[in-house]
Amino acid sequence: MVDEISVHLQLPPVDEPSSEGFVVSSGRHFTEYAMRLRVGGVVMVQLTTELHRGLLRPCIQLFHVTPSTCVCIEHITAPIKCFCHVATKSAARPTYSSADHYRQLWLPVLAMEAVHSAVANQHSVVIRHVDVRWSQHRMHGEGPVYLATLKLPVSFCEYRCIRLTAESVDDNDINDSWSPDSREDTSRGYVCVRYSGISMPVPPLELPIGELVNLTENLTWVGHCIISRVFVDKDRLFYRVYLKVHQSSFPLPAHLLDGSPVPATIELIDKPLLDRYCIHSPLVAAATAEGSSHKTGSNKKVHTHHFRSIFQVSLDWLVAVLISASAFLQ
């Protein structure tokens, strides 16, 4: 009877759906909301471009559910482009020249699988009004690299079941001048950073596009980042999260680099536990194989079955740990 009546009710519009304030009454850390669409209805989207068969074509980047809430269609439909590099070489080989060769071939493949699994799980958390501090670095052989740091209270994350795998350090040991290694691209998770109401300068155009599209309208800057590392202080008061921008449709707005307090909306996308262990399995296998070759004094190529046996042992150990953990939680 309740379902039949609810169909005829006109619910008030929601500008900013949030679970904050509803935990006490509902006992849940999330809130459910829906958007009704009809054929011929008008929705608000933000467009970007993508390369298709050598030509640029428009595609939807953001879908606005409410004036202040949007869904990033870009990283949902193209997670690998947004959060990792494409593995261009086949990793399955009968022999490998060295342990490092084995690691270089398999890590990009596992990174692609981890990104796809993380986005497909749909276990992301959206946090608004986050203070993100940006910096720009120049790396050899690359363009400008944008790094960011943000702080989240540990109590805030634990109360809302937000999981961050952090390394415990003293405040004096934290160095904010850290810069990433261009050869190291492993991640501990993924973050979609969004700034709304950004005014971007328009470059000179040959075609009169301004007669068809309003080029002065504010837009939302979207940056897809990987979590490089996470620290927590000894007193467990704050998490310090370090980010590296992997993909963005246009450069970071200049006024964000001078430390201006502009609140951001971040979407934390957790990397599944199984994928985290799978990323480290080839590292362990490669290190073990390299160590055994040094002990024997052999410089011969390493066969695949040697890596496979070590990799299988690490996977069997992982499965046993997961089964024990699930039995303990039950």
146-188 pLDDT, tens digit per residue, is 999 999 999 988 888 888 888 888 766 666 555 655 455 667 8
Residue 220's nearest CA partner among 69, 38, 111 is: 69
With a CB cutoff of 8 Å and minimum separation 6, the contacts of 51 are none
- What is residue 137's predicted lDDT score, i.e. its pLDDT? 84
- What is residue 309's predicted lDDT score, i.e. its pLDDT? 47
244 near 139, Cβ under 8 Å? no
CB-count exposure of residue 82 (10 Å: 0-12, 13-18, 19+): buried
In residues, how long is the chain? 330
Residue 72's nearest CA partner among 243, 224, 300 is: 224
- What is residue 286's predicted lDDT score, i.e. its pLDDT? 53
In this prediction, the residues of the chain whose per-residue pLDDT falls under 50 are 1-11, 23-24, 182, 291-300, 306-313, 317, 325, 327-330
59 near 46, Cβ under 8 Å? no
- What is residue 2's predicted lDDT score, i.e. its pLDDT? 34
Residue 186's nearest CA partner among 155, 230, 143 is: 230
- What is residue 80's predicted lDDT score, i.e. its pLDDT? 93
Q: Helix 304-329 crosses helix 273-296 at what angle (to 10 degrees)?
A: 140
Backbone angles phi, psi at 97, to 5 degrees: -65, -30
- What is residue 203's predicted lDDT score, i.e. its pLDDT? 72
Maximum pairwise Cα distance, the chain: 79
This prediction's pTM: 0.77
Round to whole Å and give the CA distance between 100 and 282.
10
Round to whole Å and give the CA distance between 8 and 280.
54
Domain ranges of the chain: 14-77, 124-201+215-269, 275-329
- What is residue 1's predicted lDDT score, i.e. its pLDDT? 37
In which element (H, E) is residue 296 found?
A: helix 273-296
Classified by CATH at the fold level, domain 124-201+215-269 comes out as Elongation Factor Tu (Ef-tu); domain 3 (2.40.30)
Round to whole Å and give the CA distance between 319 and 324.
9
